[in-house]
Amino acid sequence: MKKLYSCLFLFLFLAQSVSAQSPKIRVIVFGAHPDDCDISSGGLAALYVAAGHAVKFVSLTNGDKGHQQMGGPELAKRRLEETREVARRLGVTYEVLNNHDGELMPTLENRLEVIRRIREWKADVVIAPRPNDYHPDHRYTGVLVQDAAYLVIVPNILPKVAPLENNPLFLYTRDHFQRPNPFRPDIAVDITSVYDKKVHALDAHVSQVYEWLPWTAHDKSVPTNLQERKKWLWNKYLTRVNISPEVRQSLGKWYGQERAAQTTMAEVFEICEYGKRPTEADIRRLFPMLPPQ
C-alpha cells in the first residue's frame, strides 16, 4: 500500500509539473455571424483543442436575417442550434449574442460586452475580422474588438469584471480586401491535417453553407445527397485556405522551407498593433502547433 501511495504521489507530481510547464492557452474568436468564426479559424481551433487548450467562438449577432426563405426568431433559433452542433464537433465553447443581423453598431454597450467576454474567458489570444470589409457587421465586429484592445487591462473600465493582468495578443483574420490596406500574413498556420475537421464543423451550418450563401451567389451546384454535398463543401472552401506566395513565405518563417513547400492549406492572421506586441518567442509559445525554433 505504501508503494502504491508513493507511485500515486509521483504521478500527481509529474502531472502538476507538466501542467506548470505547459499552461492551457485560452483563445477567443469573435465573428459577426454564427458561421464566421468557423470560416476564419475553424482549423486553428481544431489544433488548439486537440492539444488540450481552450477555445471560445462568439457571434456578435444572432444571424436572424441571413436566409432567403426564413428569418426572425425562427432563423435565429435554427442558427443557434447549428452553433451548438459546431461546438460538439469541434470541442469549442460557442456563444451567440442577441443583436439583430445587419444592425450591429460599434456602441459603448457593445464594446463593454466584448470586453466582458475577453476578461471572463481570461483570453491569451483574441481573434476578429479587420475593420475594413464589405459587410457592416464584419466591419463593426473588427472595430469593437479593436476598441477593446488595451481597455481589457484598465480596472476602471467595466469595474465589476476583473481586468486582465496582461494584454492579450489581438489578431485579425484573413481577407482579400486591398483598401485602405491589404491584409498582412504575419502568422500562417498549417491546417492541412485538420481541414476535414474544419469542413465537418462548417457542414453543421446547413442554413448557410448549403442554402443562403449559394443562393446569394446564384450557385445551383449544391448536391442534394448528404455525402456528396459535404465533398462539394470540402472543395468550395479550399479558396479560403489557399497558399498564396505571401502565405508560403510566412509558412517558411514559422515552419521552415521544407514544411512550407508541403503545406496545402493554411489559416493566416495579422497582428493587431493595439494589443500585445509579441516577440517571435511569444508567438511560438501562444501557437504551440508551430515547431520550436
pLDDT at 21: 56
pLDDT digits (tens, 9 = 90+) for 177-202: 999 999 999 999 999 999 999 999 99
Q: Which positions ≥6 away from 105 have C-beta within 8 Å?
A: 140
pLDDT digits (tens, 9 = 90+) for 50-105: 999 999 999 999 999 999 999 999 999 999 999 999 999 999 999 999 999 999 99
48, pLDDT greater than 90: yes
Name the residue ranges covered by the structural domains of the chain. 26-286
How confident is residue 293, by pLDDT bands cut at 50, 70 and 90?
confident
CA distance linking residue 98 with residue 102, whole number of Å? 12
pLDDT at 16: 47
243, pLDDT greater than 90: yes
- In the chain, the percentage of residues whose pLDDT exceeds 90 is 91
Asked if 101 and 64 touch (Cβ cutoff 8 Å), the reply is yes
Query: Mean pLDDT over all residues of the chain?
Result: 93
pLDDT at 22: 67
10, pLDDT greater than 90: no
- In the chain, the percentage of residues whose pLDDT exceeds 70 is 92
pLDDT at 20: 45
Does the structural domain 26-286 have CATH classification 3.40.50.10320?
Answer: yes
**Averaged pLDDT, 35-63:** 98
pLDDT at 17: 42
Cα dihedral 35, 181, 168, 19 in deg (nearest 10): 70
| DSSP-derived secondary structure letter, 179 | S
CA distance linking residue 52 with residue 80, whole number of Å? 25
Closest by Cα among 182, 172, 195, 291 to 246: 182
pLDDT at 15: 43
**Averaged pLDDT, 143-152:** 97
Task: Identify the residue whose cell numbers are 485560452.
Answer: 26
Other CB atoms within 10 A of residue 165 CB:
7
CA distance linking residue 259 with residue 193, whole number of Å? 13
pLDDT at 6: 47
pTM score of the predicted model:
0.92
pLDDT digits (tens, 9 = 90+) for 189-238: 999 999 999 999 999 999 999 999 999 999 999 999 998 999 999 999 99
Asked if 190 and 259 touch (Cβ cutoff 8 Å), the reply is yes
Burial class (CB in 10 A: 0-12, 13-18, 19+), 211: middle
Closest by Cα among 84, 168, 90, 155 to 122: 168
